[in-house]
Structure 1
Amino acid sequence: MRRDELLDAAEDLLCDQGSAALTLSAVADRAGVSKGGLLYHFGSKEALIKGMVERLIDEFDQLLAAQPGDTYTERYVMATLAAVRSGRLRRWAVVTGASGNLFLLAPLREAMARWHREGLADEPDPLASQVVRLACEGLWDVASHDPELNTESDLQALEARLRALLKPPPAP
């Protein structure tokens, strides 16, 4: 069994049953492997949570790097919408809910700070860019809890509005 399949099983378990259900035995059962097979990849529950956090950060960094756009915030909007459309955004809620351990969440907090500070000073309107990035976080969070809330046409309208907010104000 591959590492990602074990992480998927842990995430599915969390989505279905909540953080109290996240045990190594339950993850192994969900993945259809022995507990020893799980322990080969993740030696503890903390290591499993750490793996989920690291994968979440890596995947969003890759998604962000793959997006078109003239500014970091434009790419951030596109990456957020790509995540919402993919349905894989539940990881944010899952990982945050899974870990009451601030040490395990530290890499996620560092990544969030980086994502929200990156290139901000180089944006045509840094304040508008900050508002747009925060709106993306809200969209991601709401979609995590209600993935069916926004239709594709809703997402297209949101994208257009967010991109419009990023346009520099006309010169006086």
Structure 2
Amino acid sequence: MRRDELLDAAEELLCDQGSTALTLAAVAERAGVSKGGLLYHYGSKDDLIRGMVERLIDDFDELVAAQPGATYTERYLGATLAAVRSGRLRRWAVVTGASGNLFLLAPLREAMARWHREGLSDEPDPLAAQIVRLACEGLWDVASHDPELNSEEDLQALERRLSALLTPG
């Protein structure tokens, strides 16, 4: 079994049942492997959570890099909307799973600080860029609790409005 499949099983378990359900035995069962098979890849629950956090950071960095846009904030907005549209609410699952251990959240906190500082001084309007980035965080958080709240039409309207904030003039 591949590491990503184990991480997927852990994230699904977190999303479906919450952080108290995240046990190595439950993840192994969800993934259809023995507990020993899981332990081969992740020696502890903390290692598993660390793996989810690291994958989250890497995935979002890749998503930002793949977006069109002249500024980092434009790419950040595109990445956020792509993540929300895909239905992958991994961020919430990871934060829920790691919330009891600040050490495990440290890489995510560092990434969030980087994502919110990256290129800010190069933006035409740094304050507008900060507002858009914060709106992205709120959108993702709300979508993790109520994925059906915003239709595609709603997301397009939000994207237009937030993009307009980034247009100098």
User: Counterpart in 1 of 2:151?
Assistant: 151
Structure 2: runs of 5 or more not aligned: none
**Residue aligning to 2:69:** 69
Aligned partners of 1:45, 1:115: CA distance in 2, in Å? 27
- SS of 1:148's partner is coil
- How far apart in 2 are the matches of 1:13 and 1:96? 13
* C-alpha deviation, 1:123, in angstroms: 0.3
Structure 1 residue 40, shift from structure 2 partner: 0.6
The C-alpha deviation readout for 1:63-96, integer Å capped at 9, x for no partner, is 00000001110001100000001111x2111111
How do 1:38-53 residues align onto structure 2 when only pairs under 5 Å count? 38-53=38-53
Q: Distance in 2 between matches of 1:116 and 1:152?
A: 26
Deviation at 1:8, TM superposition (A): 0.6
Distance 2:16 2:75 in 1: 32
Letter in 2 for 1:159: E
TM-score scaled to structure 1, two decimals? 0.96
Q: Which amino acid aligns with 2:140?
A: W
* Alignment pair present for 1:82 and 2:77: no
Distance (Å, rounded) in 2 between the aligned partners of 1:101 and 1:46: 9
After TM superposition, give the deviation of residue 168 of structure 1 in Å: 1.1
Unaligned runs of 5+ in 1: none
Distance in 1 separating the partners of 2:76 and 2:26: 35
- The Cα of 1:97 is off from its aligned counterpart by 1.0
For 1:79 and 1:21, the matched residues in 2 are separated by 30
* Cα distance in structure 2, aligned partners of 1:102 and 1:91: 18
Instruction: Look up the equivalent residue of 1:96 and give its one-letter code.
Output: V
Report what 1:2 is aligned to: 2
**Secondary structure at the residue paired with 2:124?**
coil
Structure 1 vs Structure 2 CA RMSD: 0.6
Q: In 2, distance between residues paired with 1:28 and 1:49?
A: 14
Question: d(CA) in 2 for partners of 1:16 and 1:82?
Answer: 22
Task: Name the CA distance, whole Å, in 2 between partners of 1:117 and 1:75.
Answer: 14
**Match for residue 98 of structure 1?**
97
Counterpart of 2:95, as a letter, is: T
Please give the alpha-carbon distance, in whole angstroms, between the structure 2 residues aligned to 1:23 and 1:71.
41
Q: TM-score, normalised by structure 2?
A: 0.98
* Matches for 1:157-168 after TM superposition, within 5 Å: 157-168=157-168
Corresponding residue pairs, total: 168
Instruction: Name which of structure 1's ranges 16-25 and 59-68 shifts more when overlaid on structure 2.
Output: 16-25
C-alpha distance in 2, partners of 1:124/1:21? 46
Offset from partner CA, 1:92-143 (integer Å, 9 cap, x none) = 1111111211110000000000000000000000000000000000001000
